[in-house]
């Protein structure tokens, strides 16, 4: 059974498509990266997955069934979003108490451990928390819930680097101890790229990349040097983008570099190196016209 399945999922507001024909299948017990620019549709997708928003057309299935008013499926999902609203007079302990009674696999030890590490006072009112502390609350709920499908939407707004480390370290520990399906949406791609097993890249509501992270590591490369030589080298290849500084040209190319490619570039007097995941994402979503396969 797949943890989540989307078929032709479309969500439109008026004439605008927030999501446009998204089709994907998430297997259980893997860490998925949901990447894309602000407003690309990642948050909308996660809201539809948890029946908080309704699709305009297409199919949504979580653990084999439609999540709408489906307690059996929803009980297995924990969705931590950056914009979560909490009841006016709730304290941190109130949030945790409510969450703990909703998730059957809730781990009190994990929650306690994280409260300590984040130095979060249990009796503080949520509305009085700083942005970072508020994110910490979400992270604690997300990790301690041990939900079979856990979604994190930019969970570290306001978290400093130390706190983010706490999150990653505990995420790895939790995942190793009790594997589950995790979907992590993040702008800090370099920080999380080592964690991700499979990548979904969304741009303007469309799924433009659906690939194993391991494969993506050798999927694209950059080549740089004198403009004319670079252009010659680029002939016939799938170019993602070009940047020029005087006579120096740097281009990103979709394709495998490999030993042969490296050697060829060297022979041509050019520098070549594989693109990191972050650079790949920037190249694929950075330009005005949107990503087109095979554009030069």
Pick out residues in 114-153 that bind another protein (CB under 8 A): 141
Per-residue tokens: 187: 């702008």
Sheet holding 57-62, edge to edge: 16-26, 4-13, 57-62
Pick out residues in 13-52 that bind another protein (CB under 8 A): 30-31, 43-44, 46-47, 50, 52
Strand 206-212 relative to strand 181-185, pairing: unpaired
In the complex, the smallest distance separating the C-beta of residue 46 from another protein, rounded to whole angstroms, is 8
Residues in a beta bridge with 5: 25, 61
165 binds another protein (CB under 8 A): yes
Measured distance between the N- and C-terminal CA atoms of the chain, rounded to whole angstroms: 40
Question: CB atoms < 10 A from the CB of 179, how many?
Answer: 13
Cβ 61 vs Cβ 5: under 8 Å? yes
Cβ 202 vs Cβ 40: under 8 Å? yes
71 binds another protein (CB under 8 A): yes
Cβ 254 vs Cβ 235: under 8 Å? no
Closest by CA position to 195, among listed 32, 56, 6: 32
Per-residue tokens: 6: 């989307």
| For another protein, the closer CB: 68 or 241 | 68
83: CB partners within 8 A, 6+ apart: none
| For another protein, the closer CB: 31 or 120 | 31
257 binds another protein (CB under 8 A): yes
| For another protein, the closer CB: 113 or 168 | 168
Pick out residues in 87-116 that bind another protein (CB under 8 A): 87-90, 94, 97-99, 101-102, 104
When binding is defined by CB under 8 A, the residue of 169, 243, 244, 263 that contacts another protein is 169
Q: Among 80-88, 202-210, 232-240, 242-250, which window interacts with another protein (CB under 8 A)? A: 80-88
| For another protein, the closer CB: 17 or 226 | 17
291 binds another protein (CB under 8 A): no
* Footprint of another protein (CB under 8 A): 30-31, 43-44, 46-47, 50, 52-54, 69-71, 74-75, 77-79, 81, 83-90, 94, 97-99, 101-102, 104, 141, 161, 165, 168-169, 172-173, 175-177, 191, 194-197, 214, 217-218, 221, 257-258, 273-276
């Amino acid at each position: 059974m797949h943890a989540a399945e989307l078929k032709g999922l479309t969500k439109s507001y008026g004439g605008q498509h927030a999501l446009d024909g998204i089709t994907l299948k998430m297997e259980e017990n893997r860490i998925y990266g949901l990447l894309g620019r602000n407003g690309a549709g990642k948050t909308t997708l996660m809201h539809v997955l948890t029946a908080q928003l309704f699709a305009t057309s297409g199919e949504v299935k979580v653990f084999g069934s439609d999540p709408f008013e489906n307690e059996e499926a929803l009980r297995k999902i924990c969705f931590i979003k950056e914009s979560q609203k909490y009841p006016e007079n709730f304290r941190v302990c109130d949030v945790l108490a409510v969450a703990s009674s909703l998730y059957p696999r809730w781990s009190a030890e994990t929650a306690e451990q994280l409260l300590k590490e984040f130095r979060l006072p249990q009796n503080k009112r949520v509305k009085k928390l700083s942005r970072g502390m508020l994110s910490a609350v979400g992270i604690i709920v997300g990790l301690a819930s041990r939900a079979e499908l856990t979604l994190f939407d930019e969970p570290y707004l306001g978290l400093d680097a130390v706190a983010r480390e706490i999150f990653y370290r505990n995420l790895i520990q939790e995942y190793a101890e009790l594997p589950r399906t995790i979907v992590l949406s993040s702008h800090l791609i370099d920080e999380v790229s080592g964690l991700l097993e499979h990548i979904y890249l969304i741009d303007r509501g469309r799924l433009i990349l659906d690939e194993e992270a391991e494969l993506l590591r050798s999927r694209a490369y950059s080549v740089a040097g004198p403009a004319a030589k670079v252009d010659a080298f680029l002939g016939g290849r799938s170019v993602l983008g070009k940047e020029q500084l005087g006579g120096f040209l740097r281009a990103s190319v979709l394709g495998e570099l490999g030993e042969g490619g490296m050697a060829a570039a060297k022979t041509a007097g050019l520098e070549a190196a594989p693109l990191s995941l972050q650079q790949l994402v920037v190249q694929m979503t950075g330009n005005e016209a949107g990503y087109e396969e095979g554009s030069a």
